[in-house]
A and B are shown apart, each in its own frame.
Chain A
Amino acid sequence: MLKQVHFGPSYIPYLLVTPQILITLVFFIWPAGHALYQSLLIEDAFGLSSEFVWFENFEVLFADEHYLGTFKRTIFFSVLVASISMGFSLILAAMADRVIKAAMVYRTLLIWPYAVAPVVAGALWVFMFDPTLGILTYGLSMFGYDWNHKLNGNEAMALVIIAAAWKQVAYNFLFFLAAMQSIPKSLIEAAAIDGAGPVRRFATIVFPLISPTTFFLLVVNIVYAFFDTFGIVHTITQGGPAKATEILVYKVYNDGFVGLDLGGSAAQSVVLMAIVIALTVIQFRYIEKTVEYS
């Protein structure tokens, strides 16, 4: 039987959570509310005349074939970024997990790209692939391939996908490696004694046991590809050529801050907000419950 301890009413807990709540209100709830309200208005840039139009901005948005095109493009982009960067980092983590000598050196080097800001990452790839001055473009031209991502939409898309995936490899690597190292050595050793080779051990023991991490990373990577790739797209292609790399988050910026169509841009933000809420719900409600932890 536990001793019952009674605490009197105290203001301290409220005091302690106040800063957090204030920050959330000021930096998240208030702007989000503002975006919601703005999405129901048609307004000129200076805010001198505004008209409340209910859901007209959304109707216009979903009737716009270019917006639907952007939607499909974003899904294509996100799936590829997530699968390339996760696949690549899974292989790297599996290899780094087995390295015995100088393991720290490999790990440190592999984690480095995570410290690079998206804009800088974009700039690096722009330099390497510049159609006139890029070193890799020069290399490709030796093989007779004329690279010009400013004209060819597929090349542009490939470039932003590679840059975005490269940037995220380090993060995924870190999580995969940690998950692999938390697998009890006894399981792997037992399998080895039974004659299972490294590939077999990975497929039947390691991969199933790290599945919670994989699912977690899947959601994180999709969120990353949806929202955090703005800097990369902005530095490499600005959404071009001919909209080939315009993803949802870039269109929000372009319509709102370049085009000054605040209502339409806010409506797109609201759609994005709905997507991120849905993804978060999936992560908390579904994945956290159905994936078994070892």
Chain B
Amino acid sequence: MKLLNTILAVALSGFAASTMAATEVQWWHAMGGVNGERVNKIADDFNASQADYKIVPSYKGNYTETMTAAIAAFRAKEQPHIVQVFEVGTATMMAAKGAVYPVEQVMKDAGEPFDKSIFLPAVISYYQTSEGELLSMPFNSSTPVLWYNNDAFKKAGVESPPKTWDDMKDASEKLVAAGYKCGFSFGWQSWVMIENYSSWHDLAVGTKENGFTGTDTNFTFNNDHVKARIGSIADWSKDNLFKYGGRRGDSLSMYTTGECGMWMNSSAYYGSVKKQAEFDFGQTMLPVDTDVRAEAQNSIIGGATLWVLRGGEDSEYKGVAKFMTYLSSPEVQAWWHQETGYVPITTPAYELSKTQGFYDANPGTDTAIKQLSLNTPTANSRGIRFGNFVQIRDVINEEMEAIWNGSKTAAQGLDDAAERGDTLLRKFDRANK
């Protein structure tokens, strides 16, 4: 609990420094490095565009740290107006009804015009209530894509990027035969190989429409399809067709150093790949598992949204509403999308990027948005909403690692993950009665 107090102290000192010229709006975010500078630019540009409100962005560490800091600040009644929360924290935020000010409500109360229909369905469906109310403002959204190394493909004699999992196997065999250390790897494995694999093939991750219609849900990702796919990948790893490279983005270097010819992870690695890879890289849609479905459904997003926390003055929420409008304007969104590789969250921003010729100049950069809007999302491909999901993802990580290192079979590991996950879901139910 010492850590908690430190966080509170830091949070307090941040607030003491505010001055009283324009109405200040605090924005806590989790974008470090180059993306942090881009966030600052957005805030600066907004502040320069008008004189009534001043957005003050503060970097609070990674996603988990930012969310924990905001929660600790809320408990100390020192919360920011806007906090950036990653998609797996959605259920936790939703359950905190007294703390969260739904963004649609914010816009309405502030009298700010707000047209929901311009947002991409695959993006906002993740953050709506079952009645259709938008709870948080999508900011940085991405989806996993298949990154590949064109030079390696040429050397190994792979003619075109894989479209199916059978192609994945073929291409990986050729790569390994040509002397590459491994065929493919992936990061954020729960997101890519469980959540997105399921939505891509219209399979449910859990009951109750993936948790959208109630918290009394159970996991169903331990079905035969997922077991078969994970099991085959585990088998392939014996011949180095697949190589595990760690959680989150840890395996990025395996791809950018040319060790593995293919890599499945977020489209938002575009900036990093562009900077690090010294080969002709490309991105294409995730492979389809023809044992499950002939055609892909649509993938789901990852990334974060901006949540508004209650407890401030009405005038401050007017500023929040103005900023939200600015943030979702086509110019800002198109710029953010082209710089980072996150998807444009509105159709006008997508259209603008097209007319600016961005996709012609950078082929493949529209893969993510094409995947997300491939079909109208179904109950299985709208997104997922499970309580305690941050912890559950760790459980899935642990069990999948046990599968990759051979200490469990795919069936056993996934059954254990589902069982342990269900326990955490019940715990969430209990704490959020």
Contact = CB atoms under 8 A, between A and B. Distances in A.
A243 interface: yes
B404 A151 contact: yes
B398 interface: yes
Given A150-B245, A257-B3, A242 B432 contact: no
Interface in A231-263: 238, 240-243, 253-255, 257-261, 263
B107 interface: no
A46 interface: yes
| Consensus secondary structure, chain B interface | helix
B98 A46 contact: yes
A260 B405 contact: no
A255 B245 contact: no
A31 B245 CA distance: 39
Given A257-B64, A257-B68, A48 B98 contact: yes
Contact of A151 (B397, B398, B401): B401
B430 interface: yes
Given A240-B401, A258-B394, A260-B92, A49 B432 contact: yes
Interface in A156-173: none
A132 B254 contact: yes
A121 to B, nearest CB: 20
Contacts of B253: 130, 132-133
**Contact-size category for A:** 35 or more
Interface string B246-262: 11001001100101000
Contact of B401 (A43, A241, A266): A241
A42 interface: yes
Indicate the member of B1, B64, B390 with the most A CB atoms within 10 Å.
B1
A152 B405 contact: yes
Interface string A265-277: 0100100000000
A259 B431 CA distance: 13
Nearest to B5: A31
A35 interface: yes
Contacts of B432: 44, 49
A72 interface: no
Contacts of B64: 257-258
A240 B254 contact: no
Given A42-B431, A261-B427, A47 B75 contact: yes
A55 to B, nearest CB: 16
Contacts of B430: 42
Contacts of B257: 132-133
Contacts of B1: 31-32, 34-35, 38, 266, 269
Contacts of A255: 391
A131 interface: yes
A262 B29 CA distance: 23
B277 to A, nearest CB: 14
A258 B390 contact: yes
B184 interface: no
B147 to A, nearest CB: 16
B245 A131 contact: yes
A242 B3 CA distance: 26
Contact of B95 (A44, A151, A269): A44
A51 B97 CA distance: 17
A11 to B, nearest CB: 31
B431 A44 contact: yes
Contacts of B390: 258-260
Contact of B398 (A27, A32, A38, A243): A243
Interface string A3-31: 00000000000000000000000010001
B2 A31 contact: yes
A238 B393 CA distance: 14
Contacts of B404: 151
17 contacts: A27-B2, A31-B5, A43-B431, A45-B92, A49-B432, A132-B254, A133-B253, A150-B247, A153-B407, A240-B247, A241-B398, A241-B402, A242-B405, A253-B3, A259-B390, A259-B391, A266-B1
Interface of B: 1-3, 5, 64-65, 68, 71, 74-75, 92, 95-99, 244-247, 250, 253-254, 257, 259, 388, 390-391, 394, 397-399, 401-402, 404-405, 407, 424, 427, 430-433
Given A45-B71, A254-B391, 19 more contacts: A44-B92, A44-B96, A45-B92, A46-B96, A46-B99, A47-B75, A48-B96, A133-B257, A152-B405, A153-B407, A240-B247, A241-B402, A242-B402, A243-B398, A257-B3, A259-B388, A260-B391, A261-B427, A269-B1
Q: Which 7 A-B pairs have the closest CB atoms?
A: A259-B391, A150-B246, A241-B401, A242-B401, A46-B96, A242-B402, A242-B398
